[in-house]
Amino acid sequence: MAPPRHMTSEDPFPEKTPGKLRLYSMQYCPYAMRARLMLAKKGVDHEVINIHLRNKPQWFLDKYPIATVPVMEQDDKLLGGSLVISEYIDEVYSKNGERTLSADPYEKGRTNMLISDKYGKAISAVYKRLRHEENWEEDFFKHVGELDKELGAKKYFAGADKPTYADYMLWPWMRVLGPDCEIDDVLPTGKLPNLVRWIEDMKKDDTVKACHTPPDVLKRFCQGYHTLKYEYDLE
């Protein structure tokens, strides 16, 4: 089924269903995908309202002046920010023993350090490559290479035998690496062997499959980072 179209300044506010969780998203936004992954992982009943980020509805700006996605709303509750929402979903909707982010304060802190430091630098390097910035290779292989070292021989980043919070919070950017996607020239270099293995394993995960975007569609959207001509409603 095709995702809901992206609402623009011409669209009226869509009435809410009492009690139902709503996610304001953008279909191809990696930050929004973090929240969509967690909602899929936990099987949360929800609705998605896609927002055209180049022509936002005024009612969205009034609701969340920061004007970024994702934003989660449920009755009178409203949260913004991909990590805030993802952690909230994991904590509220997980059954006993099914948290993807460790409840142990130290392990949770280590995961959040990984995300804020190494993930942040690697994500910036991915955007440099998408924008075809000069000398992108140095930053890319330095910072994404750090992730490859961090992963090492582990199957997944937290050392578990299945994806956890640390993996899902990185996946939306790593999915653009590969022969069918926009960044098709980095994995064949042999410089990221552990990430190559991890990417293939992540593609097999049911949660990742549930949030899959066809590679040709994702590639068309990603080209906008270089051309500055973003296409919406590609599906």
What CATH number did the domain enclosing 55 receive? 3.40.30.10
What is residue 130's predicted lDDT score, i.e. its pLDDT?
Answer: 96
111 shares a domain with 95: no
Known catalytic residue: 181?
no
Angstrom CA distances, 201 to 41, 42, 209, stand at: 16, 20, 11
Give the span between the Cα atoms of 127 and 29, in whole angstroms.
12
113 shares a domain with 94: no
End of a domain among 49, 72, 99?
A: 99
End of a domain among 53, 79, 99?
A: 99
Angstrom CA distances, 141 to 101, 145, 212, stand at: 27, 5, 26
Residue 29 located in a structural domain: yes
36 shares a domain with 132: no
End of a domain among 99, 125, 158?
A: 99
Residue 197 located in a structural domain: yes
pLDDT, average across residues 50-69:
98
Residue 219 located in a structural domain: no
pLDDT, average across residues 184-196:
96
Question: Which structural domain range is residue 125 located in?
Answer: 105-210
Domain count, the chain: 2
**CB neighbour list of residue 235: distance below 8 Å, 6 or more residues apart:** 2, 3, 27, 213, 214, 217
Give the span between the Cα atoms of 41 and 210, in whole angstroms.
9
122 shares a domain with 202: yes
Contact 195, 174 (CB under 8 A): yes
127 shares a domain with 91: no
**CB neighbour list of residue 64: distance below 8 Å, 6 or more residues apart:** 24, 71, 78, 80
> What is the share, in percent, of the chain residues with pLDDT greater than 90?
96
**CB neighbour list of residue 92: distance below 8 Å, 6 or more residues apart:** none
84-117: pLDDT as tens digits = 999 999 999 998 879 999 999 999 999 999 999 9
Q: What is the CATH number of the domain that holds 164?
A: 1.20.1050.10
Residue 226 located in a structural domain: no
What is residue 31's predicted lDDT score, i.e. its pLDDT?
Answer: 98
Q: For residue 71, give the 3-state DSSP assignment.
A: strand
144-157: pLDDT as tens digits = 999 999 999 999 99
Contact 167, 117 (CB under 8 A): no
Bridge partners (DSSP) of residue 21 are 46
User: How many other CB atoms sit within 10 Å of the CB of residue 161?
Assistant: 8
112-138: pLDDT as tens digits = 999 999 999 999 999 999 999 999 999
Q: For residue 77, give the 3-state DSSP assignment.
A: strand
Q: For residue 32, give the 3-state DSSP assignment.
A: helix
91 shares a domain with 133: no
Residue 46 located in a structural domain: yes
Strand extents, DSSP E, 6-94: 21-25, 46-50, 71-74, 77-80
Question: At residue 208, what is the residue type?
Answer: V
Q: State yes or no: pLDDT of 180 exceeds 90.
A: no
